[in-house]
Structure 1
Amino acid sequence: MPKVSEKYLENRKNEIAKAAINVFAKKGYSNASMKDIIKEANVSRGGLYAHFENIDAVFIAALKYDDALQVNRLSISDPKVSLLLQLNAWIDKAVLSVQNKKVNLVRAKSEFFLSHDIEEVPYLRERHDQLSKNIQRLVKIGIEKGEFKKQIDVNSFAELLISMIDGVMLHQHYQYTSNPNLSAVLNHMHKAIENILI
C-alpha cells in the first residue's frame, strides 16, 4: 500500500471540512449527520472516519476552516483610510454574510455553542479570544494614531462589539422581525461605535 503524505492528508481533511460547511449551513448542527458529510464530501465512510471520529470533530474542523477565512477580514488594509471606516466595513461584511444561505453557519454555530461547554471545546474560547485581540489591536492603533479617544476600555469595547455582531447576525438569520431593515440596523450600530470611539 503506497504511503500518503501528511500534506495530502491535511488537504483531504480541509476538503471534507469545506464540504461540511455546506451541510451545516443547510441543516444546522443539530440535524447534520456523518452520512450527510459523507455524501457532500464524496468520501467513503472509512475515509471520513480516518480524519474525524464524530460530528463534533467535523464541526470544529469546519468552524476552523470558516474562521480562517473570517480572520483575514479584520486587518488594516489601507493606512490612508480611517480605522473607523475600516472597522465599519469589516462589521458590514461579517453581518451581511448572514445573507449567503449556502455557507452561512450562524444557525449551526448557535446550536453548537449552546449545546457545548467551553471546557469541553477549548477552541470556542480560543476563537473568541483571537477575535477580541484583533479588535483590541485595531482600537489601540487608532488610539496611538489619535483617531480614537484615549480613555477607551479596549477589552470591554471588543466584548461589546462581538456581542452586537453576534446578536444582529442571529436576529437576521432567524428573522424575528417581519420587516428586517439591515441597513438601518447597521447604520445605528456604526453611530453607536463612533460615539464610543471618537
Structure 2
Amino acid sequence: MRDVKDPEVRRAEIMEAALRLFAEKGFLNTTTQDIIDEVKISRGLLYYHFENKEDILYCLVEKYSEPLLRRLSAISYDEEKSALEKVRSFIDATMISPDTITKEMIELQKNVDLEQNHYMMDRFSHRFSNMVTSYFSHIIEQGIAEGVFHVTYPLETAAFLMTGYVFVANDVKALPMEIEQLIQYVTAYKELLERVLGVETPIFTNR
C-alpha cells in the first residue's frame, strides 16, 4: 500500500535525510538520487517539495534561523521592556553561545560555507537582514518616543545597522580568527550602535 503522508511531514523527512547525507558524504558528493533512496520516495515527489539539493540546503538554513527570528521579534514587540533594554537583549540574542550550538548546526555551517554556496547565503542574508531591520526599526522608533534615541530616519538607520551586522558577521564566521579579534568586532559594533543611535547613557555597560 502506498505510503501517503502529510506534505509537511514528508518535507521535514526529506530535509532531515538530506542533512544526514550532507554530514556523511558532504554536500558536493550528495546527489538528489541519494536523498531519494534515503527517504524511499519517487523523484517526482522530491521535486514536488524542492527544486534541487541547493533548495533543500537553503530551506535547512531557514529552518535553523527561525527560532532566532522568533526570539528577535518577541524582544522587539515586548511591551514591558524599554528601548534600551531591547537593544541589549537584541544584540545578546544574536551572539552565538557554545551551549546553543548543536551537531546539526555545525554540519550545516560546514556546507553553507562552501564557496559554491556563497550565492545562496547572500540570498538568505538579504532576507534575514530585511526581517531584522523591520524589528530593529520598531525598537528605534520606541527609543525616539522615549527620548533616549536621537535618530532622524529610523527605518533607514536600522537597515544600515542590521545589514552591516548580518553581512560582516557572515564574513567573520567564514574567517579563521582568534577570540580576541572576535571580541574586537563585537566591541566595535556596540560602540558604533551607541553613536548612531545618539544615546547619552551607554547602552552596554561592559563590552
Q: TM-score range by the shorter chain?
A: 0.5 to 0.7
1:44 aligns with 2:45: no
Say which of 95, 112, 118 aligns to 1:114: 118
Is 2:87 the partner of 1:87?
Answer: yes
* Conservation of the 8 A alpha-carbon contact between 2:83 and 2:139: yes
In the alignment, is the contact (CA less than 8 A) between 1:24 and 1:32 conserved in 2? yes
Q: Which residue of 2 aligns with 1:186?
A: 186
Distance 1:27 1:170, change over 3 A: farther
- Residues 89-124 of structure 1, C-alpha deviation per residue, up to 9 Å, x if partnerless? 333332416883631555516746633598xx7x77
Q: Secondary structure at the match of 1:75?
A: helix
C-alpha contact (below 8 Å) 2:137/2:154 kept by paired residues: no
Q: Structure 2: state its 5+ residue gaps.
A: 200-207
Aligned match of 1:136: 137
AA of the residue aligned to 1:69: P
Structure 1's unaligned 5+ residue stretches are none
1:72 corresponding residue in structure 2:
70
Q: Cα–Cα, structure 1 residues 106 and 155, in superposed 2: closer, same or farther, change >3 Å?
A: farther
Which structure is higher in RCO with an 8 Å CA cutoff and minimum separation 6?
1
Q: Shift of residue 141 of structure 1?
A: 2.4
- Whether contact under 8 Å (2:11, 2:49) holds in the other structure is yes
Q: CA deviation at 1:136?
A: 1.7
Distance in structure 1 (CA, Å) of the matches to 2:189 and 2:121: 30
For 1:72, what is the secondary structure of its paired residue? helix
8 A contact 1:33–1:55 mirrored in 2: yes
**Change beyond 3 A, Cα 1:76–1:148:** farther
User: In structure 1, what is the equivalent of residue 203 of structure 2?
Assistant: none
Structure 2 counterpart of 1:17, from 15, 18, 24: 15
Aligned counterpart for 2:61 among listed residues 51, 60, 63? 63
Once the 2 structures are TM-superposed, how far is the Cα of residue 88 of structure 1 from its aligned partner? 3.3
For residues 95-110 of structure 1, the aligned pairs below 5 Å read: 95-96=95-96, 100=101, 102=103, 103-104=105-106, 105-106=108-109, 108=112
Q: Which residue of 2 aligns with 1:146?
A: 147
Distance 1:149 1:21, change over 3 A: farther
Distance 1:2 1:178, change over 3 A: closer
Partners of 1:95 and 1:89 lie apart in 2 by 10
Alignment partners' CA distance in 2, 1:88 and 1:22: 36
Match of 1:172, SS? helix
Larger Rg computed on CA atoms: 2
In the alignment, residue 115 of structure 1 is paired with which amino acid?
Y
- State the distance in 1 between where 2:190 and 2:115 align: 28
Over 3 Å counting, the alpha-carbon distance change for 1:181 and 1:62 in structure 2 is: same
Are residues 143 and 11 of structure 1, via their aligned partners in 2, closer, same or farther at CA, if it must alter by over 3 Å?
farther
> Identity, % of aligned pairs?
23
How far is 1:9 from its partner? 1.5
Q: Distance in 2 between matches of 1:132 and 1:191?
A: 19
TM-score, scaled relative to structure 1: 0.67
Q: Between Structure 1 and Structure 2, how many residues are aligned?
A: 190
